[in-house]
Amino acid sequence: MAMISIEVLLRAHHANGERVTSENFLLRFSGLDASLSAVADREPGFSGKVVFFALTASRFRDEDDPQDALQTAIARALGEVANWLNSQSTVAIEAMRQEGLELTVLFDVEIDQDQLELALPPAFLSACSRLNMQVEIVTND
C-alpha cells in the first residue's frame, strides 16, 4: 500500500447547478487568507472550494520511512484544518446551507494499490461534526 498524493478541500456546490459566488461562499468565512487557495465565481455548475492542503509522497522520499513521514504530515495538517473549522461560525455555515449550498470536506487521494490507510484525528472529526460537515474520501483505484 502506498499513497501517492492527497488533497484536502472544502467543496461547495448547488445541487441545481447554480453558480457558487464569493459572496455566498468565501466571504462568509473568518480567517480565509492567502495561505489557503480559494475559488468561487466560476461558471454555473462548478464547485467553489477552499484547498486546505496538498501533499505528495515524493516530497518525503528521502525520509527513512516515506509513508510514515507522509502520514505524520497529514495528521499535522488535519490538526490545522480542525483549528480553522473550529474558528468558523455555525451560523455562517447554516446560512450557506439555507441558500442551497452543499458543503463537503473532500479527500482526493491517489494510491498505487487497492488499499488506503488513512487515520483521521479525533480533533478533525469533532470539528467536522460541530459544523455538521460531511466528509468524503475519493481515490483513483
What residue type is assigned to position 36 of the chain? L
Question: Is the pTM above the cut of 0.85?
Answer: yes
Its domain, for residue 58, covers: 3-116+126-139
Residue 33 has pLDDT above 90, yes or no: no
Q: Is residue 103 part of a domain?
A: yes
pLDDT in tens, 48-84: 999 999 999 999 999 998 889 999 999 999 999 999 9
CA atoms of 136 and 127, how far apart (whole Å): 15
Full DSSP string of 59-122: GGTTSSSHHHHHHHHHHHHHHHHHHHHHTS-HHHHHHHHHTTEEEEEEEEEEESSS----PPPH
pLDDT digit string, tens, across residues 87-112: 999 999 999 999 999 999 999 999 98
Q: Classify residue 10: in a domain, yes or no.
A: yes
Q: Is residue 22 part of a domain?
A: yes
In a domain, 49, yes or no: yes
* Cα torsion angle, 90, 93, 27, 78, sign: positive
Q: What is the pLDDT of residue 133?
A: 96
* Position 11 in a domain: yes
Specify if 121 maps to a domain.
no
Contact 94, 28 (CB under 8 A): no
If one counts the domains in the chain, the total is: 1
Neighbours of 106 (CB within 10 A): 19
Considering the domain boundaries, does residue 65 fall inside one? yes
4: helix, coil or strand?
strand
Amino acid making up residue 25 = F
